[in-house]
């Protein structure tokens, strides 16, 4: 399933509440590490159809940054049944993979 791009806090909350397993990629267009991770994240979204993959640009959205306590980009947050189950900060492929596998093991 392709990555869904969301730029609205209410829509993001709805998607997290409406799906069992969600990974959210918080990033910015000007971030080199975000650009490095994007194709990897896209590939994972096609490999794991039981997880909803979301991408949220935080360039101009202080509400999202504050709500999800984003301090580093990229930040990947893992949600299971609407509850945050983990987080990976930075361009660390093996940590992202570990988080994906954690969600699929449940």
Q: Catalytic site residues? A: 31, 34
**Lookup: tokens for 54:** 């979301």
How wide is the angle at C-alpha 53 spanned by C-alphas 3 and 80, nearest 5°?
165
Which of 50, 21, 19, 23 is CA-nearest to residue 37? Answer: 23
Burial of 75 (0-12, 13-18, 19+ CB in 10 A): buried
């Amino acid at each position: 399933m392709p990555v869904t791009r969301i730029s609205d806090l209410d829509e993001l909350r709805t998607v997290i509440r409406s799906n069992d397993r969600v990974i959210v990629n918080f990033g910015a267009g000007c971030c080199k590490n975000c650009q490095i991770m994007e194709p990897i994240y896209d590939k994972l979204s096609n490999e794991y159809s039981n997880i909803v993959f979301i991408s949220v640009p935080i360039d101009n959205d202080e509400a999202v940054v504050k709500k999800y306590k984003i301090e580093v980009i990229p930040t990947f947050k893992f949600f299971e049944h609407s509850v945050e189950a983990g987080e990976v900060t930075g361009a660390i492929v093996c940590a992202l993979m570990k988080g994906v596998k954690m969600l699929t093991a449940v």
